[in-house]
Amino acid sequence: MQTDLPEQLGINQGAYLGERLDLDPMLQHLKTCVNSLGWKKEALRFGDEEEASLLCLTRRPAKPLANIILSGGIHGDEPATTAALCQMVLEDVLPQTHAYTVFPCLNPCGMRAGTRVTSNGRDLNRDYLTLETREVQAHVRKLKKLHPPDLALQLHEDWEAHGFYLYELAAPGVAPLLGRPALDAVAEQCPIETASSIEGYPADRGWILPELNACERNDWPEAFYFMQHKTRHSLTLESPSDFDMSVRIQALIKASLAALKQLPTVPDESHSAGDTSDVPGNLSTG
């Protein structure tokens, strides 16, 4: 029998006003533990300051079934995204059959300050065409060395939302079939957004299938970069941040794991190679 779903806290008024994240101790604990779990860690520098780096984690089995990229914390007022990625890595819940690249926090300056934007007032999730910010430049330099992922998962939060929702983008010939199972998994413990229109897009019980109008925009989000550089599938998960932090973390984890379960299970030999910037069709080609 399903238990009652949690209710909104009612504290977000004009902005996210909920619980903040103590970022540096969390990332330090993550870096201390990941080696024993089979992960490699790398600091991607984007400035001269000691804290000006992006943490990148990678783990690859010998013959991965799929290449996955997960990212969070691109907006500093979306703390459950970074917390969820750290928890998934530390609790070792990601399927061992896949290769992963994880960016737990793409906007560490904003996360420390609790602001959506960087210390320079830039929204990083609008800079993946012009690549003007140091953080996005560092991120993309790493992406250019990777094989294109079968799935790119971007974890986000929405302070105005009444429930969980997601955007799903798929390459031509790829069926957009990951979103509904992800939402069904979340619905067990978090409300799903019921609005028929979200951010100007038609929505079906929290599932948005937007058109990829990349040519019409000069402010690409991270998802557009992936789709324009040979990614098969992109999911942008949006937890409702006017709920308790623990609810949002678990919702993001459940949606991520449910989406991963829907991926093909036949090994692809092209997945077996590691980091390279010289592979035809990789993220450095457009």
pLDDT digit string, tens, across residues 157-169: 999 999 999 999 9
Encode 167-198: b = buried (16+ Cβ within 10 Å), e = exposed: bbbbbeeeeeebbbebbebbbebbbbbeeeeb
Q: What is the pLDDT of residue 87?
A: 98
Q: What is the pLDDT of residue 273?
A: 47
Q: Where do runs of H (alpha helix) occur along 92-244?
A: 108-113, 134-143, 179-186, 222-228
Confidence tier at 265 by pLDDT (50, 70, 90)? low
For residues 147 and 230, what is the distance between their CA atoms, to the nearest angstrom?
9
Confidence tier at 47 by pLDDT (50, 70, 90)? confident
Assigned token pair, 18 = 């909920």
For residues 18 and 132, what is the distance between their CA atoms, to the nearest angstrom?
30
pLDDT at 282 over 70: no
pLDDT at 285 over 80: no
Q: What is the pLDDT of residue 215?
A: 76
Q: What is the pLDDT of residue 38?
A: 96
Q: What is the pLDDT of residue 3?
A: 60
pTM of this prediction exceeds 0.85: yes
Assigned token pair, 164 = 């969980």
Which sequence spans correspond to the domains of the chain? 23-154+166-272
Q: Mean per-residue pLDDT for 95-119?
A: 97
Q: What is the DSSP letter of 164?
A: B
Assigned token pair, 264 = 């093909």
Q: Mean per-residue pLDDT for 71-89?
A: 98
CATH number of 23-154+166-272: 3.40.630.10
Assigned token pair, 81 = 């995204």
Encode 201-221: b = buried (16+ Cβ within 10 Å), e = exposed: eebebbbbebebebeeeeebb
Q: Are 208 and 158 in contact (CB under 8 A)?
A: no
pLDDT at 280 over 50: no
Higher local confidence (pLDDT), 172 or 154: 154
Chain-wide mean pLDDT for the chain?
91
Q: What is the pLDDT of residue 271?
A: 54
Q: Which single residue is written with the structure tokens 């031509």?
A: 172
Higher local confidence (pLDDT), 44 or 266: 44
Higher local confidence (pLDDT), 272 or 45: 45
Encode 23-34: b = buried (16+ Cβ within 10 Å), e = exposed: beebbeebeeeb
pLDDT at 58 over 80: yes
Lowest-pLDDT range, 83-92, 199-208, 217-226, 273-282? 273-282
For residues 2 and 245, what is the distance between their CA atoms, to the nearest angstrom?
21
For residues 249 and 157, what is the distance between their CA atoms, to the nearest angstrom?
10
Lowest-pLDDT range, 32-36, 213-217, 232-236? 213-217
